[in-house]
Amino acid sequence: MSLIDLRSDTVTQPTPGMREAMLSAPTGDDVYGEDPTIRRLEQTLAAQLGMAAGLFVPSGTMSNLLALMSHCERGDEYITGQLAHTYKYEAGGAAVLGSIQPQPVEMEADGSLDLERVAAAIKPDDFHFARTRLLALENTMHGKVLPLTYLAEARAFTRERGLALHLDGARMFNAVVKLKCTPQDISRHFDSVSVCLSKGLGAPVGSVLCGDEAFIAKARRLRKMVGGGMRQAGVLAAAGLYALEHQVQRLEHDHQRALEIAKGLEALGYVVEPVQTNMVYVQMGARAGALKAFCAQRGIILTAAPRLRMVTHLDVLPEHVESILESFAAFTRA
Ligand X SMILES: *Cc1c(COP(=O)(O)O)cnc(C)c1O
Q: Which residues bind ligand X (CB under 6 A)?
A: 59-61, 64, 85, 138, 168, 170, 196, 198-199, 207
Smallest separation, CB 127 to ligand X (Å): 33
167: Cα within 13 Å, side-chain hemisphere: 33
Q: 201 or 259: whose CB is closer to ligand X?
A: 201
* Secondary structure (DSSP) of 23-75: HT-----GGGT--HHHHHHHHHHHHHHT-SEEEEES-HHHHHHHHHHHH--TT
Specify the residue, 18 or 321, whose C-beta has the smaller distance to ligand X: 18
Strand pairing partners for 308? 282
Exposed e or buried b for every residue in 285-296, given b needs 16+ CB within 10 A?
A: eeebeebbebbe
Least CB distance to ligand X at residue 104 (A): 15
Residue 135 vs 291, nearer CB to ligand X:
135
Q: Using an 8 Å Cβ cutoff, are 197 and 233 in contact?
A: no
Q: Which lies closer to ligand X via its Cβ, residue 138 or residue 191?
A: 138
Report helix, strand or coil for 165.
strand
DSSP one-letter code for 143:
T
C-alpha to C-alpha distance for 184 and 190, rounded to whole angstroms: 10
* Closest residue to ligand X in the complex (CB): 60
| 201, 247 Cβ separation under 8 angstroms | yes
Judged by beta carbon, residue 51 or residue 67, the one nearer ligand X is 67
Residue 176: closest CA among 48, 289, 86: 48
Cα 46 to Cα 155: distance, rounded to the nearest angstrom: 19
Q: Residue 90: how many CA atoms within 13 Å on its side-chain side?
A: 23
Q: How far is the CB of 45 from ligand X (least distance, A)?
A: 15
Of 85 and 255, the one with the shorter C-beta distance to ligand X is 85
CB of 334 to ligand X, least distance (A): 33
**Closer CB to ligand X, 111 or 234, in the complex:** 111
Q: How far is the CB of 63 from ligand X (least distance, A)?
A: 7
Shortest distance, CB of residue 57 to ligand X, whole angstroms? Answer: 9
Residue 159: how many other CB atoms lie within 10 Å: 11
Q: At its nearest, how many Å lie between ligand X and the CB of residue 128?
A: 32
